[in-house]
Structure formats: C-alpha cells, structure tokens
Structure 1
C-alpha cells in the first residue's frame, strides 16, 4: 500500500511538473507600487486560478509612469522587454511611434462577444493611438479635492456647501491656515506623475498644451499663466509648503493640512490611513465653470511580447485585469474609476460598494466632463514633462514669479518639441 501511495504521489508530482513546464510565462511591469502592488498581486492570484496554463511573473515595479516608460525603452535596446506593461495613458505614443507596442485590434476581432464583456467604450478609447487600439484601461482617475472636515468646521466652513471655484477655495484655505498651530490650509500634489495636476489646472481654465499642428507650445496664454498663479496663490494665501509628495500626504493624514488636491486614486488609501483621526470628505476639483474640462488619466495595459503564444497569453491577462473581476479588485484597493460596466452594475461587485462609500463617487461625477491626459510628442516627451515640474517647483519654492516661470517653461518645452 505504501508503495502504491508513493507511486501515486510521484505520478501527481510528474503531472504537476508537466503542467508547469507546458505553461506559458509572461512578464509584467507596473509602476507606483504604493498604489498598484496589492491589487495587481490579488488579480494575478485570481487569474492563475482561472488560467493555470499561464504563469504571470511580476517584475520589480518602478516608482512612476515615467520610470516605467524609460525601463521599457531601455529593455527594447537589450531585447528584454516585458510582455505586458502598465503605462501612463499620456505616454503610450512613445512606444507606438517606435513600433514597440502590439496592436490589440486583431485580438478584439477574435472576441465574438466583445461588446458584451462590459468594457466601457469611452474608457477603452484612452488606449487608441493613431486610430488603433494599443492599450486596455486598467485604472483611470480624475483629480479631486480631499477635505479635513474637522479643520473646515474650526474655520467656520460648511461641509455641506464646499467651495467650487478657486477664489472661494483659496479664501477657505486662508481661513484654515494656522501656522502657529502647524496647520496649512492647502496642498496640491503638483509633483504627480505626467504633470497630471498641472494639466488639470490648464484644462479647467480652457487651455491647451499644444498648437493645433502639435509643433508649438499651446499654453503661452492666460490659461497657462493661471496654472502658475494658482500654485503661487496656494503658497501665499493657502499656506502651502514646499513639501514632497510623501511629506504632504503624511501631513494630511496627520490632520495638519485642510484641503488636499490629488488624484482620486488615493481615496481608499487615505481613508484607511486617516481612520478616525478626522472626518474625511471628497469634492470635485475647483473650476471656473461647472462645465469645464477635467483631465482623466491613469494606467493602460500594453502588450510588448513578440512571440505569438505569449501575445495570446498576455491578451488573456489584460482582458482579465480589465474585466469585471479585475476591476472589482482594483477599485476595492484604490480609488480609480472602473472601466468595466458589469463590475459597476453588479451589486455584489461594485454596485453596493459605491452606494456605501460616497467619497468614492466624487470622481465618477466628473466623468461627463473628462478629457484625455496628454503627453508631448516626439522622443523628448519625458524631458518636456520634467521642464514643467521644474517650472512649478520654482514657483512653489518662491524662486520665480508666475509670469517668469511661464515664460521660461514655454521656451524650454518648445526646445523639446519635434522640429
């Protein structure tokens, strides 16, 4: 009997080894582990249960979308690109222009029930470059305002009538500021990847990043100047300090910042970390007009695998991550907007979740006004992004007036655009 049992165990082990050997392995790169690590690891685990024939190997994550893009471009030179990468929607053109990304059009055509799988068309359109689909949305967001209701009430504010315009918002932030008590009235995460919050300021004021032909800077305008003026006002009127992302976030969690402007991706994380320290509410991002544009961006999943078998396996993985199960996992971990309608409409997935979590609904209310998160054209896109970071930092640090910062930024970005 013992011998039979040993033989059976050996056979079982051999079968398992054979299955593992036959499995297709795909490598996956993603950025911002503080946001994405937990949901992606859970999605990979759920995917493995449904697709035991596909093994997903997660590569060491990068700090930002820009670093992920640089990693993909470097690996293209060495011939070791990831099979799948989560890229910022504003940077997809970098890979399409170099013919590195794989078009998803052939895979979509093989899906007989594509229109019944729940992928929201408007969000899927964020993956279109040059008229072809190159990425499926994983996590999209809109900028919102986070409010420390306790500090708001101390300053005489009404949590049920939160400010909607910048003059009203700055006035409230000024009242909330109490430097002697270590309280800053506001902070905007201007360092957010891809100039995300800067684009929000620009687009809500009716500005453009580029001229119509894409060859010239488009923000050398009053709207462009407004982006730097608001940053300056946040410092001079709203009490904003020149802090890093981590410093500002921890200060807000500790109850030392009144109004905190950031991506809706942080709702769940902030809610958990704040706990019972103070009452947290979210509100739409301040805008001059109720119908002004709101930038929406985040991560799209792109395929870089060259082998046909790996491409098919990669397609199954990104479909799953963008499908009802993957999107439910993603939203429950972070505050991004789901891109799958089945997940949104199904009570036990996200339907009841949104009903019970009003702070999560704020970003969705801004979707009718959403516009795309953009990147600069040409090979120097990442350099142009850094130029804008430098311009913003010069204002926040008090080294340059808004007009001076705008003029310098316009000149330096223009130098990075294709001739």
Structure 2
C-alpha cells in the first residue's frame, strides 16, 4: 500500500502544480471571478498611443465595480491586427466582450462578426439608461458608427479631425495675420507670401498611407468621395480642390510633398509655416515646437460648409451571452462617463465624442483652458462626417489607387483632371 500511497501523493502534487500553472491562463476565460463576471476588452493602444490610459481606466473600473472584472488585451498592428485576431477567436468559437473597431473596418466588422447593438443591451437590461446615447451624443457623431446599411453597430470612442497648425512667428515675419488664414484660397496666398518673404515653405498637408486629409480638402469644397456606392470624387469641385494643392507644390513651390512623419517634423523644426494634420498630433507638436504655435479650425472654401472625416474608432459589443453583454455595457458606460472621457482625452489627444465633456467642471474645462490647441478640434465636432470606406472586397485596392494618383499628381506626372477621372473609372470598375 505504501508505494501506491506515494504514487497517489506524487500524482496529486502534479495535478495541483498544473492547476496553479494554468490558473492565470484560464482566469480570463472563466465566466466568473469570485462574484464578478470576467470579460475581455480588446484594444489597439500601444503604451505610446494611449496604452497607459487604458490600463488606468480598466484598473479604476475593476476597483469600483462589484459585478464585473475587465481583462484588457492589447492587439498589435492596429485595427487590422485586431480584426485578424478576432477572426481567429471566432474560428475557435470564442469572442471578447468589447472591441475597438477602426472606422475603415466598420462594414468589414459588421459583415463578418457577431455583435449586438449597445442600445439593444440597454433596452433589455438597463431601463435607467434608455436615453443615454440620445442625451449625450450628437446625431452626426452617432452616425459614424452606423454601417452602410444604416445599422448602429457601436458607439464612437476615439475621434480626431484635421486642424491647421500655424507658426505665428513665421506668419508675423511675412507680414501676415498671425491668427492664420480662414479659407483654402487664403492658405494658398499665405503660403506663397511666406515663401517669398522668409524663404521657408508655407504649407504641408499630411500624406500618410490613407486619404483622410485629402477627403477633408475635397469634400469641404462640395465634392463627394463616394455617392450611392460609386466613386464620385472627380467632380468639378474635387478637381478644383486638388488643383489648388497641386499648384502650391508644383507652381508656387511654396508647399512641401513629404511623407507624414517628415512633413510634421519639418513644421516642428520651423521649416514649414502651416501644417494641416490631425489633432492627435497636438501633443507631439506642442511639446517639441520651439516657436509660438497654435491650432486653428480647418479652412473653408469661400464660405462653403466644411466637411471633416472622423479619425479614430468605435467600441462594439461582441459578447455572446447575457451576463457578458450586461457586463460589457457596465464597462462601456464607465468609459463614456465625463470623468473617464476626460482622462482618455488627456492621455491620447483624441477629441471626446460625448458632447458635454468639454464644458464640465469634472471634465475637460480646466484642461482645455491650459491647452488652447484642443479647442479648434472640439469646435469642429458639428461638421464631422464618416471617413469614406469603399464597399466590398475592392476597398483596399481603391484606397491604393487613390494613393498612387496622389503621388502622380503631386509629382507632376499627370494632370489633376486626367488623374482623378482615370482613377475614378478604375475604382468604379472594381466596385462592380
């Protein structure tokens, strides 16, 4: 009996060690941790891009919640990486409870993954929050999280819009109004004068691997990137807007054609007087520019209505069972509180999607008084429109065609009219 007893004891120890070793791995999968429902929150915020704010918010939520425990999971490679990981999770029959979805992946997400609209969860379990979304979000902001079929997929969370950063010192040196231009026509005039009077470049418009800022330029002049599922950017208004940008670079030689990081750095170094880019660059510019810098609202086209595409992401509920769905809304409601939204804005530079955060005493009122550069972006929230996402499998190809023609036009290899009209036809062939 003794050998058997010894073997039993050894076997028990091995099982105990295995259980201890797997406890952490199973913790997030367990539906309960003590009295709490455990859920996963998937995000794309690296440490240098809001990750610290995510950690703080999750930690504070877990301390105060009696019903829910959140496990945050960072996904590298931004929103594309998160979608790939979510696909693998779905194939294994699992899913997190709350996910960040970038605007460019809105339709892809809603077409390929199971989700439940937040309002459905609210109506089923939280009658006290029935009008929460209506009360605290502008209609045009909520519309950003609707897919092409008009269904409310999630709630806007990370928002950015383009502003015009200006070097007041260079503007004054050139004899110009230090408060900057108000229209795109004035931007061109200012840029040319700055080049003539100071020898420095007057203007830079951001050129990342997308057409976000280009959409703002064209649509503010009355063009539409897409209409009823067809590309329509090669209109008279679209060509006119693109022509102004092209002429500043190739004719006046007062604007620079550079990759995004180099263009922003040229502004920070004092070699470019005006930079049109996202408000999410505010911290970088404010902390590193050694001149009198300001951020002003996006220019208009001769008084036309400004249209600015939203950058950032929404939060969607992918929880499958009732307990996790309820926990998901409890966590999301916490993230959308005035205090949490303020902390998120301060930690990332994004504009709060909730409409009352800027004026609240417990929100951003003091922060905005100390950070004037945020005001322009917040004041533009009523002109935010969805970032164009070309439908179907051709979406990525369409984006690339627009990037290719941008380089051709700004490089002087094709005229604006010819380039845009040809590209519009190619994209519409793909969309068929």
TM-score by length of 2: 0.81
1:89 matched to which residue of 2? 103
The 2-side partners of 1:218 and 1:304 are apart by: 34
Does the alignment pair 1:163 with 2:181?
A: yes
The 2-side partners of 1:404 and 1:71 are apart by: 41
For residue 75 of structure 2, give the secondary structure of its aligned residue in structure 1: coil
Contact 2:226 2:388 in 1 (8 A): no
Does the alignment pair 1:126 with 2:139?
A: no
For residue 376 of structure 1, give the secondary structure of its aligned residue in structure 2: coil
1:199 matched to which residue of 2? 215
Note the C-alpha offset of 1:73. 5.1
For residue 220 of structure 1, give the secondary structure of its aligned residue in structure 2: coil
Contact 1:228 1:405 in 2 (8 A): no
* Stretches of structure 2 lacking an aligned partner (at least 5 in a row): 1-23
Does the alignment pair 1:336 with 2:354?
A: no
RMSD between aligned alpha carbons? 3.1
2:298 matched to which residue of 1? 285
The 2-side partners of 1:389 and 1:70 are apart by: 24
Note the C-alpha offset of 1:71. 5.4
Note the C-alpha offset of 1:197. 0.8
Does the alignment pair 1:394 with 2:413?
A: no
> Using a 3 Å threshold, how does the CA distance of structure 1 residues 302 and 268 change in structure 2: closer, same or farther?
same
Q: What's the CA shift string for 1:33-78, capped at 9, x where partnerless? A: 6543343333223323223741322223324x45555654566556
For residue 127 of structure 2, give the secondary structure of its aligned residue in structure 1: coil
1:350 matched to which residue of 2? 364
For residue 188 of structure 2, give the secondary structure of its aligned residue in structure 1: helix
2:267 matched to which residue of 1? 252
For residue 345 of structure 1, give the secondary structure of its aligned residue in structure 2: coil
> Using a 3 Å threshold, how does the CA distance of structure 1 residues 22 and 372 change in structure 2: closer, same or farther?
closer
1:378 matched to which residue of 2? 392
Aligned partner of 1:175 among 178, 189, 193: 193
Note the C-alpha offset of 1:264. 2.0
The 1-side partners of 2:151 and 2:95 are apart by: 21
TM-score by length of 1: 0.83
Contact 1:186 1:238 in 2 (8 A): no
* Stretches of structure 1 lacking an aligned partner (at least 5 in a row): 1-15
Aligned partner of 1:103 among 108, 113, 117: 117
Note the C-alpha offset of 1:250. 1.9
For residue 107 of structure 1, give the secondary structure of its aligned residue in structure 2: helix
The 2-side partners of 1:398 and 1:139 are apart by: 36
For residue 288 of structure 2, give the secondary structure of its aligned residue in structure 1: helix
Provide the aligned length of Structure 1 versus Structure 2.
396
Does the alignment pair 1:301 with 2:326?
A: no
